[in-house]
């Protein structure tokens, strides 16, 4: 007989609860496979998100046995505790239903951190050559592979304590743009991340870099923003 | 916390490092040398140097601590930001008054 494992899934909205299911154990299965198995075989009303299933899109992040992870690239064998899994929605975001959270506040903070590229040239200008070994390009490179999964935002204590805090992902994005020599919106960006809820609210707990599935280091990006904004403030480039 | 508060907190922290070392060294010196209260007062009364030293120390401590208290109130209590700011300014004034009173007691002739 095939062995089974016990999987608890969060069901319902904010006032929901964990419900336990029995799922067949396979030699190779990801946490996302387990959730999908339950949705296909036990309860088709289960809500959750996924798209690419190969760790590119950042849709399937959930809290697995207490820590946020990208479920499509997380093998059950690596995270199950005594053959059991507890899978909940990402923290620090409102729960819509079951494992799906409302990521609106997360992306709104990308906007408030000025995480949008502001071009300095038009389509009629020649393409600007950026040497890959310049310090700016190297610094941008370190932060650029974010897949917007929300794992760092879910893991961050400061986000939990301070509703205004922009969070690691938005500030990490701002840092890659601060190092983008083609961008023309630097003054507004530094102003935005230097305000209340910006980079100076970070306590450098480093859970973001510990849990980031892409092995990025948002704490280092935020430290870079702290340095850059302090320099701008001392030069008088920032408004109060 | 914005860049202005961040900078003030870091600058006051940096200023307090040497002040704290001197402060601790003085405590060790006074206890090792068995200085009495009268001995200490005879050195501090009328001393502009000690008044300035502890005056700067008290100001730095009051600013540094109140910014930290503001952050704690913002993060750990349901208090509004404005209320937390007012409470922390009150805390800074309290620390400043208590500190300056203590300095006055030992440096005024």
**Residue labelled with tokens 């005056």:** B55
Give the confidence band of A2 by pLDDT, cuts at 50, 70, 90. Answer: confident
CA dihedral B14, B18, B20, B26 (to 10 degrees): -170
Enumerate domains of chain A plus CATH numbers. 4-101 (3.10.20.30), 104-234 (1.10.1060.10)
**Residue labelled with tokens 């923003």:** A225
- CA closest to B70 among chain A residues: A201
- The stretches in chain B having pLDDT less than 50 are none
| Contact at CB, A230 and B4, closer than 8 angstroms | no
B75 in contact with A, Cβ within 8 Å: yes
| Contact at CB, A198 and B2, closer than 8 angstroms | yes
pLDDT in tens, A110-143: 999 999 999 999 999 999 899 999 999 998 988 8
Residues in chain A with CB shorter than 8 Å from the CB of B76 are 161
**Residue labelled with tokens 């006055």:** B104
| Contact at CB, B75 and A240, closer than 8 angstroms | no
- CA closest to B75 among chain A residues: A161
Enumerate domains of chain B plus CATH numbers. 3-107 (1.20.1300)
What is the reported pLDDT for A83?
A: 85
pLDDT for residue A187 is more than 80: yes
Residues in chain A with CB shorter than 8 Å from the CB of B74 are 162
pLDDT in tens, A85-114: 999 999 999 999 999 999 999 999 999 999
What is the reported pLDDT for B46?
A: 92
Q: Mean pLDDT across the stretch A12-21? A: 97
What is the reported pLDDT for A142?
A: 87
pLDDT in tens, B50-67: 999 999 999 999 999 999
Angle at B75 between CA A200 and CA A191, to 5 degrees: 25
Mean pLDDT over the full length of chain A? 95
| Contact at CB, A229 and B3, closer than 8 angstroms | yes
B7 in contact with A, Cβ within 8 Å: yes
pLDDT in tens, A48-65: 999 999 999 999 999 999
What is the reported pLDDT for B1?
A: 83
B29 in contact with A, Cβ within 8 Å: no
ipTM of the complex: 0.84
* b/e B53-91 (16+ beta carbons within 10 angstroms → b): bbbebbbbbbbbbbbbbbbebbbeeebeeeebbebbeeb
* b/e A56-76 (16+ beta carbons within 10 angstroms → b): ebbbbbbbbbeebbbbbebeb
What is the reported pLDDT for A240?
A: 61
Q: Mean pLDDT across the stretch A146-162? A: 96
Helix (H, G, I), strand (E, B) or coil at A96: strand
| Contact at CB, B6 and A240, closer than 8 angstroms | no
Query: CA–CA separation, A195 vs A206, rounded Å?
Result: 21
| Contact at CB, A201 and B1, closer than 8 angstroms | yes
| Contact at CB, A233 and B76, closer than 8 angstroms | no
User: By C-alpha distance, which of B69, B62, B67, B56 is closest to B23?
Assistant: B56
B4, B5, B75 member nearest A162 (Cβ): B75
- Based on its alpha-carbon atoms, the radius of gyration of chain A, rounded to whole angstroms, reads 20
DSSP string for A109-134: HHHHTT-S--BSS-TTSPPPP--TTS
What is the reported pLDDT for A1?
A: 60
Top residue of A196, A232, A239 to mutate, by most chain B CBs within 10 Å, is: A196
């Amino acid at each position: 007989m095939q062995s089974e494992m016990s999987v608890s899934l969060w069901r319902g909205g904010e006032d929901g609860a964990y419900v336990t299911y029995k799922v067949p154990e396979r030699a190779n299965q990801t946490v996302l496979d387990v959730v999908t198995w339950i949705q296909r075989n036990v309860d088709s009303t289960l809500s959750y998100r996924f798209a690419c299933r190969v760790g590119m899109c950042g849709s399937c992040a959930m809290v697995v046995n207490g820590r946020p992870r990208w479920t499509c690239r997380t093998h059950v064998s690596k995270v199950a505790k005594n053959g059991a899994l507890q899978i909940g929605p990402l923290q620090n975001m409102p729960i819509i239903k079951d494992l799906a959270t409302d990521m609106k506040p997360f992306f709104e903070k990308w906007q408030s951190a000025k995480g949008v590229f502001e071009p300095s040239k038009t389509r009629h200008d020649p393409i600007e050559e950026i040497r890959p070994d310049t310090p700016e390009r190297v610094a941008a490179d370190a932060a650029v592979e974010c897949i917007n999964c929300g794992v760092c935002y879910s893991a961050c204590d400061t986000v939990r304590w301070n509703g205004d805090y922009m969070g690691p992902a938005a500030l990490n994005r701002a840092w890659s743009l601060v190092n983008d020599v083609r961008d023309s919106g630097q003054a507004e960006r530094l102003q935005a991340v230097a305000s209340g809820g910006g980079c100076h609210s970070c306590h450098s707990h480093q859970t973001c870099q510990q849990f980031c599935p892409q092995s990025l280091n948002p704490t280092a990006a935020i430290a870079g923003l702290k340095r850059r904004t302090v320099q701008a403030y001392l030069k008088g480039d920032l408004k109060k | 916390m914005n860049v202005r508060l961040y900078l003030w907190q870091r600058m006051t922290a940096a200023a307090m490092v040497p002040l704290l070392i001197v402060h601790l060294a003085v405590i060790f010196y006074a206890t090792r040398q068995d200085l009495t209260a009268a001995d200490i007062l005879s050195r501090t009364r009328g001393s502009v140097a000690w008044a300035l030293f502890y005056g700067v120390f008290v100001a730095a401590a009051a600013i540094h601590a109140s910014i930290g208290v503001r952050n704690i109130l913002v993060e750990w209590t349901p208090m509004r930001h404005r209320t937390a700011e007012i409470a922390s300014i009150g805390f800074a004034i309290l620390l400043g008054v208590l500190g300056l009173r203590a300095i006055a007691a030992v440096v005024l002739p």
